[in-house]
Amino acid sequence: MPTYKAPLRDMRFLLNEVFDYPKHYSKLSNGADATPDMVEAILGEAAKLCEDVLAPLNLSGDLEGCHFENGVVTTPKGFKEAYNQYVAGGWQGLSHPAEYGGQGLPMSMGLIKSEMMGTANWSFTMYPGLSLGCMNTIMQHGTEAQKNLFMPPLVDGRWTGTMCLTEPQCGTDLGQMKSKAEPQADGSYKITGTKIFISAGEHDLAENIVHIVLARLPDAPAGTKGISLFIVPKFLANPDSTVGARNAVACGSIEHKMGIRASATCVINFDDATGYLIAAPNKGLDAMFTFMNTARIGTAVQGVCHAELSFQGSLPYALERRSMRSVSGKKEPDKVADALIYHGDVRRMLLTQKAIAEGGRAMIYFAAQYADHMVNGIVEKDQKKYEHWDDKLGFLTPILKGFLTELGLEAANLGMQVFGGHGYIKEHGMEQIARDARIATLYEGTTGIQALDLLGRKTLIMTRGKAVRDFTGIMLTFCKNNALNSNMRSFAWQLSKLAAQWNMLTVRTMLTARKDREIVASASYDFLMYSGYVTMAYFWAVQAAVAYEKLENGGAETPEFYKAKIQTAEFYFERLLPRAKGHIAGIVASPKSLMQMGNDDFAMV
């Protein structure tokens, strides 16, 4: 199985040399404590936790899975002890307010920690990971009393949280939701309904679980406009945030899944359970987007995690395993055969994994700065600031979630391919990465849903193309600043053409949609993937520019590190970026070939 080592060199490169996080933190009202020394200490300690505690449980947790009996879920051996270490280290409250027991550091520190944890053991990471969205929702939409009651135990990890949206009769289409909320004389509500696919909905790691639940009030209008949001704890909370009486919340079963088998995915039944309204009545879906956007960024990180872990498994195997001779002649004449890494197609797969992991990490770290500013708006109670950065992050979110999870799955599959037949065998751990990666393209909105959100909602409806123009403006500024740099001229020229093309495709789709609305659905997937390849190209160009500058003027890393960055950027532009061109055909194609076949004509029997 892959032996996980935190990619601290690459993390430091992005934090200190590419995105200048020390300067970024100095401008945040909650960034004073995020000094370079503090960040370095957090990186080091998080790496130890992930390498020494979480990673060793990844394969064993997958083999054992979760146990369910009479409504009780037991996590795999070692998970509870690992969670206790996680809580004791104060990791849950890393980026949450000190007034509730957290460390008050910027949100980006939590995302960076989550990447390390997720790469080491994604199933484990989901238990505390779901709590982050729960806490963010309560922080933004809860009353002061709700914050004071629920935040302290959530922040210190004694309690965990979930989000309960999906029901048996509906998935993404929450307008079909049936769960009910009946108001009570004391101001609480009785929640009744069944929710499915609830990650970490029941487990033995924490003493309480706080569910964030969507349900309908008796007088609610039909559809999505009649959905409200409620806090429904497994155990009722005493005034001092200790555990009280058991609530009418029960786990009906757990799912038997393809991957993430050590993470309990539950059916949760609410039978007149006591709940508390959060946010305004019938505005629950709007409030839930706080949770959803947090979850989608976290899922985007999963794409990077699986690409990184798969690469870390593939590279040592390609260096050690010998098979045949290189087509250009013997590379290891004293050996029975040459190592796999000398074969061109194996190098293609390794470089693809490396480009996806490191390019995706750069995309996440850039977006994390937007998230820091957005959260700062909440902390400072500056609604305009919050909305400004929320809009900027909102445009990137579907690209990050949809594109990076698709490429993370590709990287995981390539890891199996490098191993050949051994990649299909459990003991090597590569097939587990592929199984775990598969869910990332599905939950928190499938790739198709992300694509509709990007093209239909974020690009055409909400901004009339402005979101694309704003981001391509960043790209064009970079191109202008590097136009006379001989090392960067090729990168800048290609990026400038892509920026113009991205805007042209956006305008063309808007004009076509006026006559044929079906174009939005038929073009959305290709628009998402095109946007992803172009966005990653920009971040690879940025990394190359920094690497060239450091080679000339000196940096924190070795010359070989910077040369490898430049060479990976060249590989991406030459071998992966051309895929964007193929997606253009799907964007501009008429919807006719998709829609003309009759429903009954799909069947052949």
Token duo for residue 399: 């690209």
| pLDDT surpasses 80 at 379 | no
The pLDDT of residue 171: 78
Co-location of 68 and 204 in the same domain: yes
Percent of the chain with pLDDT over 70: 99
Co-location of 212 and 189 in the same domain: yes
Domain boundary among 243, 262, 282: 282
Co-location of 412 and 391 in the same domain: yes
Kindly state the DSSP code that residue 168 receives in the 8-state scheme. Answer: T
Confirm if 417 and 349 have CB atoms less than 8 A apart: yes
Co-location of 205 and 319 in the same domain: no
Co-location of 221 and 74 in the same domain: yes
Co-location of 270 and 292 in the same domain: no
How many domains are contained in the chain? 3
Token duo for residue 567: 């060479």
Co-location of 233 and 321 in the same domain: no
Confirm if 137 and 288 have CB atoms less than 8 A apart: yes
Strand, helix or coil for residue 275: strand
Domain boundary among 240, 263, 282: 282
| pLDDT surpasses 80 at 63 | yes
Among 228, 206, 224, CA closest to 87? 206
Distance CA 588, CA 452 (A): 16
Co-location of 273 and 308 in the same domain: no
Confirm if 34 and 106 have CB atoms less than 8 A apart: yes
Co-location of 361 and 490 in the same domain: no
Band of pLDDT at residue 582, cut at 50, 70 and 90: very high
- Model-level pTM greater than 0.75? yes
Co-location of 259 and 363 in the same domain: no
Residue 604, domain member (yes or no): no
Three state DSSP letters for 480-528: HHHCCCCCCHHHHHHHHHHHHHHHHHHHHHHHHHHHCCHHHHHHHHHHH
Distance CA 31, CA 376 (A): 9
The number of residues in the chain equals: 605
358 or 377: whose pLDDT is higher? 358
What is the number of helices (H) and of strands (E) in the chain?
Answer: 20, 11
pLDDT in tens, 88-140: 999 999 999 999 999 999 999 999 999 999 999 999 999 999 998 899 899 98
Tokens 């060793």: give the residue: 56
pLDDT in tens, 567-580: 999 999 999 999 99
Distance CA 342, CA 286 (A): 53
Token duo for residue 537: 């190209």
Percent of the chain with pLDDT over 90: 91
Residue 108, domain member (yes or no): no
The pLDDT of residue 173: 83
Distance CA 491, CA 571 (A): 12
Residue 388, domain member (yes or no): yes
For residue 149, give the CATH number of its domain: 2.40.110.20
Any alpha helices (H) in 54-203, and if so which ranges? Answer: 57-64, 79-88, 107-120, 122-141, 144-156
Band of pLDDT at residue 381, cut at 50, 70 and 90: confident
Domain boundary among 399, 416, 451: 451
| pLDDT surpasses 80 at 175 | yes
| 144 counts as catalytic | no
For residue 304, give the CATH number of its domain: 1.20.140.10
Distance CA 220, CA 239 (A): 31
Quick one: 269 exposed, middle or buried, by C-beta within 10 A (0-12, 13-18, 19+)? Answer: middle
Could you tell me which residues come within 8 angstroms of residue 60 by beta carbon, excluding any fewer than 6 positions away? 76, 77, 78
Residue 44, domain member (yes or no): no
Residue 30, domain member (yes or no): no
The pLDDT of residue 298: 85
Domain span including residue 542: 455-596
Distance CA 185, CA 147 (A): 22
Residue 172, domain member (yes or no): yes
The pLDDT of residue 293: 67
Q: Considering just the CA atoms, what is the radius of gyration of the chain in Å?
A: 24
Could you tell me which residues come within 8 angstroms of residue 273 by beta carbon, excluding any fewer than 6 positions away? 190, 191, 192, 232, 247, 248, 249
List 115, 308, 406, 444, catalytic entry: 444
Confirm if 155 and 432 have CB atoms less than 8 A apart: no
Co-location of 234 and 340 in the same domain: no
Residue 10, domain member (yes or no): no
Confirm if 154 and 139 have CB atoms less than 8 A apart: no
Co-location of 241 and 295 in the same domain: no
Could you tell me which residues come within 8 angstroms of residue 223 by beta carbon, excluding any fewer than 6 positions away? 175
Three state DSSP letters for 366-426: HHHHHHHHHHHHHHCCCHHHHHHHHHHHHHHHHHHHHHHHHHHHHHHHHHHHHHHHHHHCH
The pLDDT of residue 294: 65
Judged by average pLDDT, the poorest of 370-374, 495-499, 557-561 is 370-374
Mean pLDDT of 552-556: 97
The pLDDT of residue 172: 80
| pLDDT surpasses 90 at 34 | yes
Residue 46, domain member (yes or no): no
Mean pLDDT of 178-194: 97
pLDDT in tens, 16-27: 999 999 999 999
**Half-sphere exposure (Cβ direction) of 284: Cα atoms closer than 13 Å:** 29
| pLDDT surpasses 70 at 233 | yes
